[in-house]
Amino acid sequence: MKRPDLALCSRCGRCLAVCPSYLETGLETNSPRGRIFLIQEGFEHHPAVISCLRCGSCEAVCPNRVPLPEYLALSTKPEWPIPELVSEKLWPYLLGRGTEFFSRKISGPRTGHPTIFLSCGAEVVYPGATERLWTYLKSLGFEPGFTEPLCCGLPLASLGQRSAFLKKARETLTRLSALKGPILTLCASCLWTIKRLYPLVFKGTELEVKSQELASTIEETANFLVKLGKLKFSQVEGLYFHLPCHLRETPPGWSLPTLSVCCGSVGGKALLSKSIPRALARELVLKNPKILATACTGCYLKLRRVLKSPPEVKHWVEYLSV
């Protein structure tokens, strides 16, 4: 597997203004440009490089679309020395601790129109939201279904377990490619992994075409509903949306007030850390939300772990007006 090329960085600095870790610390080494320089000089495992949140903000504004987050997501250095077999098998159950998973299991037809991607988050972390989406789609006249439980592999990539990630990605790509679209995801990071990482990882392999086709078939749920003109929320006082970095922007017609600030959840250690970026803390004080609804498993776990209620942390789908 070839990793993406960083050579296109012209050091223009346009990315500095959007990088959460640079804005937080003011240090060039914690900026996209600084990290690229460190990697190119052979310091790939420098703490400043490892601390990158892989949020993708730099790539979105970069004139050369330098794929730093994808490059780092395919890192070779394990964050923790966990055997691959253990993390691969236990990951969903570790995620499920303290969530609804052990009291609630998703059941329903396999495949449908549309088919809901039963990712680790959709199955294990917020199954109530997944069921809510299914009910909502039914109320619109669809015959929705679920995929079998699958993982996009990003948690393994974030732990630096490249071969386990590749195995998982290959399996998930093969299973999802066998379905007829549309496939809806509830997690921005799964979406990013499938749309951005898979085509890079499988470039030049027998799965290249399938990875590109899947990237154009899989959709974020809100986009799907917006296209139908069917995105309708319940009126709930103090409800705010936390925009995950991997989603980048809300679709047109999105009516919830939105906090577009990184929660700092990417990577195992960042996810477990009890701190949040100062910019997010400031926004929370300023807006004082009662409920913070997000769209990414990493953000959901991190915010739930760190924030004291209020705000209560939820998945936005739970506020669709059925």
- Interface residues with ligand SF4 (CB under 6 A) are 9-15, 18-21, 32-33, 35-36, 52-58, 62, 64, 66, 68-69
Q: Given the complex with ligand SF4, which of 28 and 84 has the nearer CB atom?
A: 28
Minimum CB–partner distance for residue 168 and ligand SF4 (Å): 22
Minimum CB–partner distance for residue 12 and ligand SF4 (Å): 4
Q: What is the dihedral of CA 272, 50, 55, 308, to 10 degrees?
A: 20
Q: Which residue matches tokens 């939105």?
A: 258
Q: Given the complex with ligand SF4, which of 112 and 160 has the nearer CB atom?
A: 160
Compute the distance between CA of residue 158 and CA of residue 48 in angstroms, rounded to an integer.
16
Q: Given the complex with ligand SF4, which of 22 and 101 has the nearer CB atom?
A: 22
The 10 Å CB-count burial string (b at 16+, else e) for 210-230 is bbeebbebbbbbbbbbbeeee
Q: In the structure encoding, which two tokens stand for residue 238, read together?
A: 């103090």
CA distances from 241 to 1, 55, 311 (A): 37, 17, 11
Minimum CB–partner distance for residue 55 and ligand SF4 (Å): 4
Q: Which amino acid is at 135?
A: T
Minimum CB–partner distance for residue 272 and ligand SF4 (Å): 18
Minimum CB–partner distance for residue 152 and ligand SF4 (Å): 18
Q: Given the complex with ligand SF4, which of 56 and 153 has the nearer CB atom?
A: 56
Q: From the DSSP assignment, how many helices (H) and strands (E) are in the chain?
A: 17, 8
**Pick from 246, 190, 251: which is nearest to 223 by CA?**
251
Q: Given the complex with ligand SF4, which of 53 and 116 has the nearer CB atom?
A: 53
Minimum CB–partner distance for residue 241 and ligand SF4 (Å): 20
Q: Given the complex with ligand SF4, which of 207 and 295 has the nearer CB atom?
A: 295
* Chain centroid, CA 223 distance in Å: 15
